[in-house]
Amino acid sequence: MAFTGRRVLITGGGRGLGYEIAKQFDIVGATIIILDKEVELLNSIKSQHPKWTMIQCDLLDWEGTKSALEHLEPCDHVVNNAGVNFRQDFLDITPEKIDFIFGVNYKSIVNISQIMSKKMIASKIPGTIVHISSYASYVQLPSISVYSASKAAVVNLTKHMSAELGPHKIRVNCVCPTYMITDFTKDYIEKNPERFEKILDKQNFKEFVDPVDVGKLVVFLSGDGAKMINGSKVKIDGGC
């Protein structure tokens, strides 16, 4: 298979979109490494996928993340999927929420990408890094201004990383999905049907994005068929 012998690290791979991305890489033969902070969740996944490697780590802990990955062998592909959000009106935003959201959604991406790209460079691996950004990075949506700003920052980071890492044959891209029904969004979508009907009305395809489709897109961007795609923001939003 296309990714046989290649190693992929997926942050936040224990549930939702991250887990689906891992399954899509597994289908094409990649060696899967999951990073998540929930020990019980990692143990559960390990029982279902005994060949996958599990790494327990809190991405908000900069030095702890470095320690957790210190002895990890270089990977060919990295997917920065982990993300958090709190809905809070702009006038109610607190510094603690800003630190938390940017800590996971932006700062941890910088840390993981530094650690893993240094390993790629030292081993002369022509690798890839894919960040998961969001539809929220380029549209106006209520009560998620901090989340939206963090995801827009990821888009901008992608451009700069691609320029600096490109000479080392490391491609960096990001994916911007619209709403998906996952553990992260399910309750909110079900409790606010009118809001999401308006979002679907703006799309050419009147349905939520399937996490499977996002997983397949990430695999494509990581593969040889996308060898000239670098520094790109790829929208998957049903044609908004």
| Top-confidence residue, 207 or 31 | 31
Q: Give me the mean pLDDT over the 53-73 stretch.
A: 98
**To 10 degrees, what angle do helices 108-122 and 62-69 make?**
30
Distance of alpha carbon 29 from alpha carbon 220, whole angstroms = 13
CA angle 218, 223, 226 (to 5 degrees): 90
pLDDT of residue 195: 63
**To 10 degrees, what angle do helices 16-27 and 211-222 make?**
50
Asked whether the predicted pLDDT for residue 189 surpasses 80, the reply is: no
Alpha helix positions (H), 55-144: 62-69, 95-102, 108-122
> DSSP character for 139?
S
Asked whether the predicted pLDDT for residue 184 surpasses 70, the reply is: no
**Residue from 19, 106, 135, 147 carrying the catalytic annotation:** 147
Catalytic, 19? Answer no
Where does the pLDDT of residue 139 fall: very low under 50, low under 70, confident under 90, or very high at 90 and above?
confident
Where does the pLDDT of residue 185 fall: very low under 50, low under 70, confident under 90, or very high at 90 and above?
low
User: Which residue ranges form the domains of the chain, and what is each CATH number?
Assistant: 7-184+211-226 (3.40.50.720)
pLDDT of residue 131: 98
Asked whether the predicted pLDDT for residue 130 surpasses 70, the reply is: yes
CB burial class (10 A; 0-12, 13-18, 19+) of residue 90? exposed
Q: What is the pLDDT of residues 71-102, one digit of tens each?
A: 999 999 999 999 998 888 999 999 999 999 99
pLDDT of residue 83: 95
